[in-house]
Amino acid sequence: MFVVTILADVMLARVYSCALIGLEGAIVEVEADISPGLPSFTVVGLPDAAVQEARERVRAAIRNSGFSFPSRRITVNLAPADLKKVGPSYDLPIAAAILIGSGQCKGDISDMLLLGELSLDGSLRHTNGILPMVAFAREKKMSAVIVSESDAAEAALVEGINIACFKNLRQLSDAISSPEPLAFYQPHSAGCAPSPPADWVDMCSIKGQEHIKRALEVAAAGAHNIVMTGPPGSGKTMLARALSSILPPMTRNESLEVTKIYSISGLLPSDTPLILNRPFRAPHYTISSAGMVGGGSWPKPGEISLSHRGVLFLDELPEFGSAKLEILRQPMEDKTVTISRVKGSISFPANFMLVGAMNPCPCGFYNDPVKSCSCSPSAIARYQQKLSGPFTDRIDIFVNAPQVDYEKLTSDRHGEKSCSIAKRVKAARAKQLERLINTNALTNSDMCAEDIADFCTSDDTARSLLREGMRQLHLSARGYHRILKLARTIADLEDSQIIKAHHVAEAMQYRPR
């Protein structure tokens, strides 16, 4: 509630802001007490260094905006006091509370949320995490959110709440002091289609490797994890990048999920309020474990969350090391990652497609028909054992990528274009969405054991083949379920309601040997 109290020359004002805990918000009451005494400016309520520094930014911004900074004892409290306050987004609410408490600004903003960083001249700057904070304000039924002009387009992505944007502190003060109601931001109604990223690769530009293109089509259709194994220069990286060209466009809900993650990470481009293309993240194998899963004293999303609803590409897969690969096991299964610290735990979404590329041995030419391998048997064994059994059990598709022949490289014949493959992938995804509408899954790879029992119906021949394959391949229960989910995706690409023997046969061909 907006409060201005004057008792014995003591003035108190209260406005509201927001703190982020992961992707979740929490209301922060910003109270400013202006009382007689030696001039001082204190901020309490568990602020971090950036919030403590707000004192100097707010002091300069108020003076340079044409106001007078009170020469009194000023105490600003950020409540609740046991919640860590991080970042510069509290500049604007602190300044507004001081101006209201000192009587230099009049108006009722009791049901509004204030978010923004201040420059020394009083102008408002971009703030990270605007989208999840505005979404939280809507949940709390706040009437409006006040942000900078640079954040207005991002804030307006949340429907059902008014957005007021301003260039500077003086403009804000004049607007809320005026008897006229606030003018709210009107977003552009014209929709925008995603444009291909700069490193976009069309499938037709890749010569040969038709069996890998088929495997990538199946992986894209069901959001399955895939690992390509082959010698250096066989096109594994190029094929992985071409995967983005056949993935279906994100729904609006998926785009909002991804945009929230990039917003709190500070990676949202200034000219792109809504991310429309599926993420494609390709970290180097020297990345730390915290960089992969997220971390820090105040945890931020890592690469696996930044690839949410998109692709996490790990080139030279064994070089990442066993420790970093093993921490991927739980997110690959649960589609979320939980980062635990002494002060609490924070969860981030991590529903990604894992695409790996690796050599069969350190030199890269083990079992190559042309070049001989120079590695010892023990070196080959050590290299391949970097991928543990539990990790490989979570990979749906393993495919070999041999060297491309000279005739195929120099041929004028072009393969199928990405747009044609993307149509089949999009149709298969549509079938999955319709089938799984009453479940928590969006794709076949998300299905749980109950969903598999309900939707993976197979004929007698397919069941007989699966029984024999399970005996010969020594499949675990997880491996058995993954073959069924993969066969379901292959059947969807053929528009078949029932899983047949050749669907199971193709799915089993993708198991590691």
pLDDT in tens, 462-503: 999 999 988 888 888 888 999 999 999 999 999 999 999 999
Residue 191 has pLDDT above 60, yes or no: no
Residue 306 has pLDDT above 50, yes or no: yes
**Mean pLDDT over residues 206-225, rounded?**
93
Residue 5 has pLDDT above 50, yes or no: no
In this prediction, residue 412 carries a pLDDT of 79
Residue 316 has pLDDT above 90, yes or no: yes
In this prediction, residue 477 carries a pLDDT of 87
In this prediction, residue 188 carries a pLDDT of 73
Residue 86 CB contacts under 8 Å (≥ 6 apart), including other chains: 19, 20, 48, 50, 51, 298
pLDDT in tens, 341-354: 776 788 999 999 99
Q: Which helix (H) or strand (E) holds 170?
A: helix 169-177
Q: Which residues pair with 165 in a beta bridge?
A: 147
Which one is predicted more confidently, 271 or 4?
Answer: 271
C-beta of residue 16 within 8 angstroms of C-beta of residue 3: no
Among 114-118, 163-167, 199-203, 207-211, which is the least confidently predicted range?
Answer: 199-203
For residues 318 and 359, give the distance between their C-alpha atoms in angstroms, rounded to a whole number: 9
Among 244-253, 336-345, 426-435, 484-493, which is the least confidently predicted range?
Answer: 336-345
C-beta of residue 475 within 8 angstroms of C-beta of residue 434: no
E strands within 390-495? Answer: 397-400
pLDDT in tens, 76-99: 999 999 898 988 999 999 999 999
C-beta of residue 483 within 8 angstroms of C-beta of residue 507: yes
**Mean pLDDT over residues 384-409, rounded?**
89
Q: How sure is the predictor about 414, in pLDDT bands with cuts at 50, 70 and 90? A: confident
**Mean pLDDT over residues 264-281, rounded?**
90
Mean pLDDT rounded to a whole number for the chain: 90
**Mean pLDDT over residues 406-412, rounded?**
81
In this prediction, residue 198 carries a pLDDT of 67
Residue 144 has pLDDT above 90, yes or no: yes
pLDDT in tens, 26-41: 999 999 999 998 999 9
In this prediction, residue 272 carries a pLDDT of 84
Among 7-16, 30-39, 148-157, 305-314, which is the least confidently predicted range?
Answer: 7-16
**Mean pLDDT over residues 216-245, rounded?**
94
Domains of the chain as residue ranges with CATH: 3-177 (3.30.230.10), 203-423 (3.40.50.300), 447-513 (1.10.8)
C-beta of residue 439 within 8 angstroms of C-beta of residue 447: yes
